[in-house]
Amino acid sequence: MVEQHKQEPEIPSMTRIQVLGAMGVTAIILLIVAKVSLHFGNFSLFSWNLNQREFLLGVGLGFVITALSGLTYRLWTGYQKSADYYLQVVLKPLALPDLIWLGLLPGLSEELLFRGVMLPALGSDYTAVIVSSLCFGILHFSGSQQWPYVIWATIVGMIFASSALVTGNLLVPIVAHIITNWISSYFWKMSQLAAIKK
């Protein structure tokens, strides 16, 4: 009997510790790059002011991005396959409490680097928004079939960067990023658990 080859790329298998470790190491690397850039660069970190209005704006933006992501997932098959592949690699090994780290670590480290450091380093204008968002999108590249996910991450990066530029507060994209990761990962994880129970 001849074994049939799958059309879909094989999903790499990682353990919970490997995923959490990779998230932690990535967060540390991004924080170091941000610190080194600030030390040697001739610019200041994008400001980060804790206030209720902009915290709530970040929460609202997180819900809007999550809703747009869900709509895109339903309407764009390429993004659906790409997102499922990416989320299968990252989320499948994790337990529900681990999703807290999935929101916090990337939300803080990625926003610090891409919006906190890159935006002012590139001039705090819309060219900086585009360039930093392209870099953010490429960070999410994990294989040749993953371009739809990279495109979506770039668009989301532009939303995060624009929110920082318009409000002048890094808190907005940080909170939006954390909320987006929490809600999206929770619903994806719950849908997978529901499918297993059927």
Q: At what angle do helices 16-40 and 99-110 cross, to 10 degrees?
A: 20
Give the pLDDT band of residue 198 (cuts 50, 70, 90).
low
The predicted structure's pLDDT at residue 2? 45
Encode pLDDT of 153-183 as tens digits: 999 999 999 999 999 999 999 999 999 999 9
Residue 5: pLDDT over 50: no
The predicted structure's pLDDT at residue 68? 96
Work out the angle at residue 60's Cα, subtended by the Cα atoms of residues 59 and 65, and round it to the nearest 5 degrees. 100
pTM tops 0.85 = yes
Residue 7: pLDDT over 50: no
Query: Cα separation of 88 and 162, whole Å?
Result: 29
For the four alpha carbons of 22, 192, 88 and 155, in that order, the dihedral sign comes to: negative
- Long-range pairs for 35-43 at CB < 8 Å and ≥24 separation? 37/113, 37/117, 37/121, 38/117, 41/117, 41/121, 43/120, 43/121
One-character DSSP codes across 43-105: S-PPP----HHHHHHHHHHHHHHHHHHHHHHHH-HHHHHHHHHHHHHHHTT--GGGHHHHHHH
Comparing CA positions, the residue from 102, 73, 74, 85 lying closest to residue 183 is: 102
The predicted structure's pLDDT at residue 10? 59
Residue 11: pLDDT over 70: no
Give the pLDDT band of residue 12 (cuts 50, 70, 90).
low
Encode pLDDT of 13-61 as tens digits: 789 999 999 999 999 999 999 989 988 888 888 888 899 999 999 999 9
Structure tokens at 98: 């681990």
Structure tokens at 156: 């989301």
